A and B are shown apart, each in its own frame.
Chain A
Amino acid sequence: MKNSAEVVIIGGGISGCSTAYNLAKKGVKNIVVLEKNYICSGSTGRCGAGVRMQWGTEMNCKIAKKSIEFYEHANEILEYDRDVEFKQSGYLLIADNEKEIEQFKKNIVVQHECGIPSSLLTPEEAKKIVPYLNTDMLKGAAYCSKDGFLNPFKTTDAFYRAAKRLGVKFNTFTEVTGIIKEKGRVTGVETNKGVIHTNIVVNATNAYSKSICDMIGLGIPVYSERHQILVTEPVEPMQEPMVMSFGLNLYVQQSPEGSFIMGRGDNSEPRDLRITSSWHFAEEMAKTIDAVLPPISKLRVVRQWAGLYNMTPDKQPIYDKAENVEGFYLAVGFSGHGFMFGPITGVAMSEMILGEKPTVDVSMLNLDRFRTGNLILEPSVV
Chain B
Amino acid sequence: MDENTIICRCSDVTLKQVRDLINDGYVTYDEIKRITRIGMGPCQGKTCGQLVMREIANATGQNIKDVKFQTTRPPAVGVKLGLIAEEGRRNEE
Interface residues of A (CB under 8 A from B): 38-41, 45, 82, 153-154, 157, 231-234, 257, 277, 279, 282-287, 289-290, 296-305
Interchain Cβ contacts under 8 Å between A and B, 14 examples: A153-B34, A153-B35, A154-B35, A283-B88, A283-B91, A286-B85, A297-B82, A299-B81, A300-B79, A301-B75, A301-B80, A302-B41, A303-B75, A305-B73
| B interface list, Cβ under 8 A from A | 11, 28, 30-31, 34-35, 37, 40-42, 44, 71, 73-75, 78-82, 84-85, 87-89, 91
Distance (whole angstroms) from the CB of B82 to the closest CB of chain A? 4
CB distance from B39 to the nearest CB of A (A): 9
- The answer on a CB contact under 8 Å between B88 and A302 is no
Out of B30, B44, B75, B80, name the residue touching A298 (CB < 8 Å).
B80
- CB contacts (< 8 Å) of B75 on chain A: these are 282, 301-304
Known contacts A290-B82, A304-B73: does B37 contact A257 (CB below 8 Å)? yes
Q: Which among A39, A231, A296, A301 has the greatest number of chain B C-beta atoms within 10 A?
A: A301
Number of CB contacts from chain A to chain B under 8 A: 83
What is the CB-to-nearest-CB distance from B16 to chain A, in angstroms, rounded to a whole number?
A: 15
8 Å CB contact of A277 from B73, B85, B89: B73
* Contact between chains at B78 and A257 (CB < 8 Å): no
Contacts of B11 in A (CB 8 A): 257
A286-B82, A290-B82 known; 19 other A-B pairs, CB under 8 Å? A38-B30, A39-B31, A257-B11, A283-B84, A283-B87, A284-B88, A286-B84, A287-B85, A289-B85, A297-B80, A300-B81, A301-B75, A301-B78, A301-B79, A301-B80, A302-B41, A303-B74, A304-B73, A305-B71
Given contacts A282-B74, A283-B88, A303-B73, contact A45 B34 (CB under 8 A): yes
B78 x A40 contact (CB < 8 A): no
Tell whether, in the assembled complex, residue A297 and residue B85 are in contact, meaning their CB atoms are under 8 Å apart.
yes
